[in-house]
Amino acid sequence: MIEVDCYICQSSNKVHYDSENGHNIVKCSDCGLLYLNPRPGLEEITEASKSGMHRGDKLLKVTGKFQNHLKETYLSRLNEFNYAIMFSQKKKITWLDIGCGHGEFVETLANFGGENIEIIGIEPNVKKQESARERGLDVRFFDLETHQEKYDVISALNVYSHLPNPPEDIAKWCEMLNEGGELLIQTGDSANLPAKDHHKPYSLPDHLSFTSKKLLVELLENLGMEVLQTQNYRMAQYPIFSVLELVKEVARFFLPGHVATFKFFPKFPDCDMWVRARKISNRTEL
């Protein structure tokens, strides 16, 4: 485990925010970022991402399985973020999905873009790679630090909180974009929440930090990106109350391997943040 400072403002001023699984989240006293401190070293993070197993007081397993219901959500987001216009231009779009998991978003994109998209997913977890390939998806893994290809769009869904140093990682993604290329990032907008109202579990130490819309937009703009659209949605773990959802939650409560939350009325449900940003042409990359 290593001690770290805030990666946004480099401040060492922090206060304890909350604890889980033998790990502590602190809040930067200067910019408000939430981050794991101390945190696992880079080698341990890398090995855990490959296996999907993270150690704390309890062993955290995050491999999971393909979730077909996510495809409906992703299709809705693609329409709401106007990607149909991009694919209507009859131009081949090269798209890289970073941390694609079992490939739910890759499969949605392949169907959405049809012959006008060339979609590749990268995923470090070996089991998730195998799961995606069994569905005929082009999912592989390569080192982004040395990767030389460029893309029209790079997406990273539920990846930001896993990054050891988001400013450095996202700067590399920007370098991998063609002129006018775009980023699509999904993460939680939760750094401003009181600890008692933060969505849980934190999934520590798998998640290394939690940001806010303000911090993420500023980060992207500092990297030479123009933020085109931001939208917050209801967190997936907060079902909208109905008789059907109540029955589902009761079933999850009794079935092994399922977790019921019964969190129908959270105080801050709309923290699922999506951000679309475009690389500004003819600007020196930072």
Mean pLDDT by 10 residues, the chain (286 residues): 93 96 95 94 70 56 79 94 89 94 95 93 90 93 89 96 93 94 96 93 92 97 95 82 61 60 72 95 52
Give the pLDDT confidence score for residue 284 in this predicted structure: 44
pLDDT at 54: 55
Amino acid 60: pLDDT: 56
Closest residue by Cα to residue 37 from 202, 178, 157: 202
Q: Which two tokens stand for residue 185?
A: 């990032």
**Three-state DSSP state, 79:** helix
Structural contact between residues 216 and 209, judged by C-beta atoms closer than 8 angstroms: no
Per-residue model confidence (pLDDT) at position 212: 97
Contact (CB, 8 A) for 97 and 106: yes
Residue 258 is predicted with a pLDDT of 58
Instruction: Provide the pLDDT for residue 218.
Output: 97
Instruction: Give the span between the Cα atoms of 168 and 198, in whole angstroms.
Output: 26
